[in-house]
Amino acid sequence: MKKWNIKNDSFYGYINACIEASNDDIQFNNFKRNHNYTSILEHQHIPKEYGDLIIQQIEYKYERDNIKSKIHKIKENDMYGNPILYNFEQYGDISLGTLRYVKNSCDIVSHFGEVDIKTIVEIGGGYGGLCKTISNFIEFKSYYIYDLHQVNLLSSKYLSKFNNYENIHINTLDDGAKKFIDGEIDLLISNYAFSELPKSIQLKYLSEIVLKSKRFYMIYNHLQSGDENGMTYNQFIDLISDKYDVSIVDDIDTDLVKILYGELKTNKQFLI
């Protein structure tokens, strides 16, 4: 059973690209240009102007000097996989994928403020790019990635190239992964992934991870409901509204893509 609501040819091409890159250094050194991979991540059809829009969003929320002080470490995310780089006056040569991860990081820091975030869980970690990038903004102690086994092979190889790898734990939801207790997760992240899952898997993530989180940041792009299509963002919010205050923001891509910020309501006791 396919555990992801994308077309079969894109799904299997992406999975095979992850396996190839994890097993072969030549493939690994170029996976961000493999068309089977870029049909899902590191899209090659996006114009440079999109990067200018991302930078505007970044600098609206986060001072340019603060980004520039981190830019050398941020651009380490472009060291592997041979991504397409564009030159921007503000930051020099950088990929659009890395810029997008910087925006995600700035969204989180600017919205939740200077809170103590030690344990992060990401549903759908891809090759590990957001994990690598957000480490420049948040000094986490543990980062848990949940994705498909084949995808995890690539993210394990990728993230092992960098410092702090010993604090990163990469799992599938079914392989005996850590069982979290209520409130143990300081921040849950899902960059499209949760919204693209079938409803049965969404509900499993909801009970085992989402509802164990103090706060969450989700980019939600799936708008059709049904058991195979999964929940819309409104249906998802309805399920958690007793426990979380949720803010909804249109993303820069389209008003059909939503950013959901969730935070535990205070002064109440909840049963999961």
CA nearest to 158, candidates 22, 15, 11? 22
Q: In 167-228, which residue ranges form alpha helices assigned H by DSSP?
A: 199-208
**Token pair recorded at residue 10:** 């894109």
- Provide mean pLDDT across the span 127-152: 96
Answer whether residue 272 shows pLDDT above 80: no
Per-residue pLDDT tens for 103-115? Answer: 999 999 999 987 9
At residue 253, the pLDDT reads 62
At residue 227, the pLDDT reads 59
Instruction: Give the confidence band of 270 by pLDDT, cuts at 50, 70, 90.
Output: very low
CA atoms of 78 and 99, how far apart (whole Å): 10
Answer whether residue 39 shows pLDDT above 90: no
Q: Flag the least confident range among 45-49, 51-55, 85-89, 125-129.
A: 45-49
The residues facing 104 across adjacent strands are none
Per-residue pLDDT tens for 232-264? Answer: 999 999 999 999 999 999 887 666 789 999 999
CA nearest to 135, candidates 110, 113, 104, 157? 104
Where residue 161 falls (left for φ over 0; alpha for ψ -120 to 50; beta otherwise) is alpha
CA atoms of 163 and 10, how far apart (whole Å): 32
Per-residue pLDDT tens for 169-219? Answer: 999 988 767 889 999 999 999 999 999 899 999 999 999 999 999 999 999
| CATH 3.40.50.150 for the 113-264 domain, yes or no | yes
* Mean pLDDT for the chain overall: 90
Instruction: For the chain, give the percent of residues with pLDDT over 90.
Output: 73
Instruction: Give the confidence band of 42 by pLDDT, cuts at 50, 70, 90.
Output: confident
CA 64: distance to chain centroid? Answer: 23
Q: Where are the domains of the chain?
A: 48-99, 113-264
Q: In the chain, which residue ranges form alpha helices assigned H by DSSP?
A: 8-23, 25-28, 35-38, 48-61, 64-74, 96-112, 129-134, 149-159, 199-208, 233-240
At residue 40, the pLDDT reads 87
